[in-house]
């Protein structure tokens, strides 16, 4: 299963989050996790994604800085 993770740093970056969401969906991610939080803050959606993936799954991000 392909699992996607999208993140932006601020609430104002709605277009960036939407672009990541569209890319992940186009790739074929069956499950998406997303959040708008600073990279130095707690990333609950990333933790949830990591808890969800199982052996054989692939976690995909659209940008390495995410």
* DSSP secondary structure code for residue 40 in this structure: T
A 10 A CB-CB count for 46 gives 18
From the candidates 9, 25, 38, 39, which is the catalytic residue? 9
Q: Decide if 9 is catalytic.
A: yes
Sheet holding 2-8, edge to edge: 31-36, 2-8, 58-61
Active-site positions read: 9
């Amino acid at each position: 299963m392909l699992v996607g993770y999208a993140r932006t740093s601020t609430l104002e970056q709605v277009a960036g989050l939407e672009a990541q969401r569209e890319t992940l969906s186009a790739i074929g991610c069956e499950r998406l996790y997303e959040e708008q939080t600073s990279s130095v803050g707690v990333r609950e959606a990333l933790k949830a994604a990591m808890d969800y993936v199982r052996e054989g799954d692939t976690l995909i991000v659209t940008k390495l800085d995410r």
